[in-house]
Amino acid sequence: MSTSFMAQWVYTDTVKDHFMNPRNLWKEGEDFQPDGVGEVGSLACGDQMRVGIKVKDGKISDLRWLTYGCASAIASTSMMSTLAIGMSLEEAYHLTPQMIMEALGGLPEHKFHCSVLGDKALRAAIDDYLEKTGQDNPFKARVARIICECKGITDVQIEELVKSGKCLTFDQLSAETGCSTVCGKCRGEIISTLEELKHIYGKD
């Protein structure tokens, strides 16, 4: 087995620590009454996540989470929880998989999609809190939409590459970002997004 292949399976000490000692786990029987709850994923797809938050003075004062997923999903959600507590709702809403990855010291490429669920569930919990309390949600429109979940590529990233003229074809975009190189399910949406942006920025 090659060294490069083995390296893909190496987890950082931080990832191992958060997997073995997950922070803010939603323990069975715990008396935690959340102000907002978010659920994403499905057991059929392999990963499911629930995040509950408490909010005080516009900030996340406490958070609990529960996931059915792999070691990377557990570690990334644990790290997400430590980052989110104390953040304003706006800061937490804009917490990205990349920020979580960097805080963990990285994850194997094929496990990047595991870090996406945590931030999605957090956003869903904030959405739920704002809806329950009758508040407007000013954050949704300002959040980039992830198109390639396996690589965490957003519509904003694609827009910048098209706008600069760096990536004007699917092959160029795939080579630059790695999009659609894992499961390939996003290929059609990426191509349509690319064509739409090329038209908008006159790159046809």
Which sequence positions are flagged as catalytic?
Answer: 45, 114
| The residue type at 85 | I
Question: Which residue, 198, 186, 192, is CA-closest to 162?
Answer: 198
Residues in the chain: 204
Residues forming a β-bridge with 101: none
Q: Are 116 and 146 in contact (CB under 8 A)?
A: yes
Q: Six-digit token pair at 146?
A: 């992830």
Q: Which residues contact 65 (CB under 8 A, 6 or more apart)?
A: 24, 25, 26, 49, 50, 51, 52, 77, 78, 80, 81, 118, 121
